[in-house]
Amino acid sequence: KNQVEQSPQSLIILEGKNCTLQCNYTVSPFSNLRWYKQDTGRGPVSLTIMTFSENTKSNGRYTATLDADTKQSSLHITASQLSDSASYICVVTGGSQGNLIFGKGTKLSVKP
């Protein structure tokens, strides 16, 4: 069964600290993996996309990694800011029909 699992479910960190969010998937065949950021009461916005051949991709203070062999991805946030408080959703495109499979998200709270 095609699934995307994210951990932790929620996370609280202090402003200025780093954190890493995890995404494990069992989707096959794999096409790509996106990380979305969803602010409270808003729609998700894409942060980065990873394809099979990419290991690392950065977008400002956000760095995503992909290990296609172990089917794991991580999103690392450096020097967190209060505005990073949001839910982060991992979405894998794949399967026999190229469907989008959503993780349930990690809710990040950055405290001053």
Partner 1 sequence: DVKVTQSSRYLVKRTGEKVFLECVQDMDHENMFWYRQDPGLGLRLIYFSYDVKMKEKGDIPEGYSVSREKKERFSLILESASTNQTSMYLCASRSLAGSSYNEQFFGPGTRLTVL
Q: Name the segment binding partner 1 (CB under 8 A); options: 12-20, 62-70, 76-84, 98-106.
A: 98-106
Measured from the CB atom, the residue of 7 and 18 that comes closer to partner 1 is: 7
**Cα angle: 13, vertex 3, 68; to 5 degrees:** 80
Cα dihedral 28/31/35/41 (nearest 10): -80
93 binds partner 1, rule: CB under 8 A? yes
104 binds partner 1, rule: CB under 8 A? yes
Measured from the CB atom, the residue of 34 and 62 that comes closer to partner 1 is: 34
Q: Classify residue 45 by burial, with Cβ atoms within 10 Å: 0-12, 13-18, 19+.
A: exposed
Q: Name the segment binding partner 1 (CB under 8 A); options: 18-26, 62-70, 74-82, 96-104.
A: 96-104
Q: Are the C-beta atoms of 66 and 55 separated by less than 8 Å?
A: yes
Number of residues located near partner 1, criterion CB under 8 A = 19
Half-sphere exposure for 2 (CA within 13 Å, toward CB)? 17
3-state secondary structure of 62: strand
Q: Name the segment binding partner 1 (CB under 8 A); options: 12-20, 28-36, 60-68, 73-81.
A: 28-36
Binding stretches for partner 1 (CB under 8 A): 31-32, 34, 41-46, 49, 51, 89, 93, 98, 100, 102-105
